[in-house]
Every structure is written in C-alpha cells, then in structure tokens.
Structure 1
Amino acid sequence: MGHGVAWTARAFGVALGWVGKALFYWPWVGLWRYVLVPVGTAVGVTVAWLVHHLIVVPALWIHRRVLTPVGHAVLWVFRGLGAGFAWLGLHLIVLPARWCYRRVLTPVGHGIAWVVRGIGAAVAALVRWTVVVPAVAVWRYVLAPVGRAIGTAVTVVARETGAAFGHAWRVAGYVSRAVGRFVGTLLRWVFVEPFRWVYRAVLTPVGHAVRDVLWRPVRNAVREAGRSVRRALGAARESVRRTRAEIRRAVFGGSGAPERPEPGAVPEPRREQSVPAARTLGKTSGRDVSPPTRGPGLGDAG
C-alpha cells in the first residue's frame, strides 16, 4: 500500500513538472532565443553603424583638420611669448641683480663683517680682563680654600653625628626587640593558647559528632532518594519508548525489531550502593585521623 502511494505521488509530480514547463518555461525560452536575441543583435549592429558614421567619423575629421592645426598654432604663439619674456627677464632683472651683488653688496658686506669682527675682539678682551680674570683669581685664592675648610669641618661633624645616631638606634632596637618579645609571649598565653585548647578539646569532637550522627545519614538518604527518582524516570521513559514502538508497528508495520534509542537519550548508568568501610581503631570514616598532639595548655608552664 505504501509503495503504491509513493509511486502515484511520484508520477503526479513528474506530470505536474511537465505541465509547468510547457506553460511557464518553454514559451519564455523560445521567445528569448528566437525573437528577443535576434532583434537585439540587429538593433545593436544598426546603432553601432549609426554611431560610427554619424559621431565617430565627423569627430575624427574635426580633430585632424581643425583642432590639431589650431593647437599647433597656439603652441607656437606661446613658445614665442615664453622666449620673449625669458629674454626680457634675463636682461632687465637677472643681469642687473648679478652686477649689483658683485659690485655693491659684496664689498659692503665684507666691510661690515670686518667692523663687526673688530668690535667683537675688543669687547671680548674687555670682558676677559674686567670680569673673567678677577673672578678666576677670587675662586682660586679665596673661595676654594674656604670651601675646602668648610667641607672638612662639615664632614667631621656629620661623621660624629652619624656615629652617635647609630649607637642610639642600636640601643633602641635592643629595647624594642625585648619589649616586642614580652608582648608577643603575653598575647600568646592570653589569647592563642586558650583558643587552641577550645578548638582541640571542644570544637573538634563536636564537629566529628555532628558529621557522623547528622550529616552522613542525611546525605545517604538524599543520595538514595535521587537514585530512586532516576530509576523511576528511566522506567517511565522505557515504557513510553516501547508503547511508541508498538503503535508505530501497528500503524505502519515493521519487522518487529526493538526500537533503537533516540540520539539524545542516554541510558542511566548502573551504580552499586557504596558500603562504608568498617571503623577501626585510629580511623574515622575511612580516613586516618591521628590523635591531636597535646600542646602546652593553660596549666603548663613551659
């Protein structure tokens, strides 16, 4: 039955395709191939012939017979004007400026430079003998000896002051170290040791009792409930899958092979119930817990 329906649908599709081509495709292809393409080719050839003989040929004639001679004449005129202006600029501007530079400006510049060099030499000699030489004499024979004496005195004072400050710093360090050790020992016996004793003697046993009596039973019960829910959901999914397979075989027929699981369905892995290990002496919940070492308590004196 299913094969007959499929064959009939395929034959109907082929017939419908032939009818669609005969009504909408082949007429337009024939119109394009046997009417529009020849007409367009003829129109294009005609337009190209008209453009060539009505525009290109007259334009080439005008360019050769009119524009080229006129352009050559204009270029000749501009060349003549350029040569005339160049001759006038050379004889009216360049040659007079060159003569003025060589015969007037150069001698005047040399004279001004000689006068400036003489004035500079005189000023330099005046400054040397009125400022530089006295300043060098004062530095060499007055300021340098006084500066060396002051530097020696300052060095001696700074060295002695530094030595005294170093001795005072070391003494203060010894005193502060002794005070710090005393304060640290006092804080240790007042705060740290009592807190350590409370943690070892009170908080640790209470925490172990809460973990063994309350936390572990609750955690095991939650895990067992989660496993039960997952098993129930897996059984429900399997029932739905089998029911769907039976309905599909009843409606469409089949070989009776079991249905493959869906790509997204992942079977629930089987888990064995974990059995806690028996307690032994010195162990708690399967982990070695060494007895806490007894530190110095409040009553220990060292």
Structure 2
Amino acid sequence: MDLQKPPAGTPEQQPARQAPEGCLVVAIRLPVRIVVLVLVLPLRMAWDALAVAARFLNDTVLRPVGRALLWTARALFVWPFVALWRHVLVPVGRALAWLGHVLVAVPLAWLHRYVLTPVGHALAWLARYLVVVPASWLYASVLTPVGHAIAWCLKGLLRGMGLILTGVGIGLYWVLRVLLVLPALALWRWVLAPVGRFLAVVGREVGQALGHAWRVAGRISLAAGRALGTFLRWIFVEPVRWFHRTVLTAVGHVVRDTVLRPAAEAARSVGRALRPALASARESVRQARADMRRMLFGASPEPVDPVDRREPVGRAARTLGSSTTALTKD
C-alpha cells in the first residue's frame, strides 16, 4: 500500500498552475486598467466625500433641528388645543346639553303628550265627519252617475265615429280599386305579359344562336390551328430534327470522344497530383496559425496524466534484473 502512494510533490497534491499568457493579452490589459482607474477614481472620491458630508450634516444639524421643530409645533399647536378641548369645550358642552334637555326637550315632550296629541285626535274626528263623509257621499251619489253618463256618451260617440271612418274607408277602397288596381291589372294581363313573353322568346333564341355560333367558331378555329401547326412542323420542325439527328449528334460524339474525355482525364490527373501538395500547404498554414496564436495568446495548459492508484492485481513474474524486496526494487 505504501509503495503505491504517490510521492510528495506530485501533480495531484500541488495546485494547478495558471496557463502562461501571451504578450498581446498583457499589452492590452495594462493600458485598459490604467485608463479605467484614471476615470473612476475622481468619481469615487467625490461620492465618498458627499456621503461623509451628508452623514455629518444629518447627525449634527438636520436631526437636532427636526426634533426642536417637532417639540415647538407640539407646544404651540397641539397642547393648547388639547387643554382647550379637555378643560373648556367638554364642560361647556355638557352644561349646554343639560340646559337644552331641561329647558327644551322636557317642555316639548309635555306639550306633545298633553296638548298636541288630544288636539290632533279631536281635529281628526272633526275632519272625518266634516270632509271624508260628505266627500264619500258626493262621490257615490253624484260623481259616479255623472261619470257613467259621460262614459256612455263617449262610447257612443266613438262607435259612431268608427262607423263613419269604416264607411269612408270602404268608399276609398272601391274608388282606388276601380281607378287604379283594375286598370293596372288589365294593363299587366293584356299588354305587359304578352310583350314580356315575346321578348323572353326573342332573348332565348338570340342566346341560343350566340351559343351555337360560339361553338362552331371554336371548331373552325381548332381546325385552322391544327392545319397551321402541321404546316409549321413540316416546314421548320422536321428539317431541324433531321439535321440534329443526322449531323449534330455525330459531331457531338466525335467531340466527346476526341476532346472532352481526354481533357477530363488530364484534369483528373492534375487533381490527383495537386491533392498532396494542397494537403501539405494546408498543414503548413495550420501550423503557422497555431504558432502565431501561441505567441500572441499563450499556450494552452497541458493535461496532467492521471496516476494509477489501484491495488496490484497479482505478483509480477521475476526476471534477472528485478527483485521482490522494497530495498532492491528498481
């Protein structure tokens, strides 16, 4: 177990070292920090000075002055009003309330109970016999028959007016029927309807003629188009097809076999020859870019190989140059 432990000072016990930084990073960091310090330092100093001055002013001036003003306001406004309310207004109010109860409320209650209530009851019996009973008799004996007579007269008048209006309406209906409806009905039946039927027949025939003429014209146009297409095909298309099939196709085959295929083979050969050179050039450019990055920004930290701290599985086979003791083991 002791032989398998890592010795002191191994990478596992030592703290990880910071990766080296490039000269470009250091060259940029220092000026930026200097400029920021020059700009921020006056503002921070001014802010700290204002904070100290405000705290001193609050502790020495504003807080004592505020307390004095609060005590003065209480002494001038609150305490006098409290004393006036407690020692003057409340006793005076209680005395006035007692006097009002004794001098006003009690006499008024006695007057209402022993004077106004009996007088009111007496007046209510007198009003019933002097006003209500005569008014009821007058309504039942006089106003009701007169109202019934007036209602019967109005009903008869309305019925007569209804009969008169009904007669006038019937007369107007027959007058309008004879003067307007019957002539209009005769005009529609004997003039407008036959003329409409005639015009409908004429319109239908004209529409059918237009449809037939449109279909016939379409067939004629189709036949003319087919004839013109056949003429153009025999004049232009067939000679062009014959020239392409017999001349251009043979020339294209000759050009493909004698020019294009050899040129393609030569291009493929050149590509196969240039591919290793391009790969070598890309590798050189990549290496140069890595060297430039390492010079400017520093090298990346190298990974630390893990130490195998497991127990030995079994005894290794002995050889001539090895031993089994800790003192003679290499």
Q: Which has the larger radius of gyration?
A: 2
Q: Structure 2 length as normaliser, TM-score? A: 0.46
TM-score of the aligned structures, taking structure 1 as reference length:
0.49
Bigger relative contact order (CA 8 A; separation at least 6): 2
